[in-house]
Amino acid sequence: MLVETMDFATAVFRAQRNLIHDLMAKVTGAPVVRHNFHFPMNSTHSAHNRRFWLDT
């Protein structure tokens, strides 16, 4: 499993990262899990981390 942190909220950045994630999954054969630090915007980083580990 590859865990990828999505650091930036811009649409262009996220689109580029999603392409890279697809390539990473194809090359490694492993699932890519996106760790999202930006959404929802009104949550803290610690709340994002808790949600990630509970949802994964």
Query: What string of DSSP letters covers 12-49?
Result: HHHHHHHHHHHHHHHHH---EEEEESSSSTTS-HHHHH
User: Is the model's pLDDT at 56 over the cut of 70?
Assistant: no
> How much is the pLDDT for 37?
66
Q: What is the per-residue pLDDT across 6-53, written as a single tens digit (0 to 9) for each? A: 666 678 888 888 898 899 999 999 988 877 666 666 778 788 778 777
d(CA 2, CA 24): 8
Supply angle C-alpha 46, 15, 21, rounded to 5: 75
pTM higher than 0.75 = no
d(CA 17, CA 32): 11
d(CA 17, CA 41): 19
> How much is the pLDDT for 29?
93
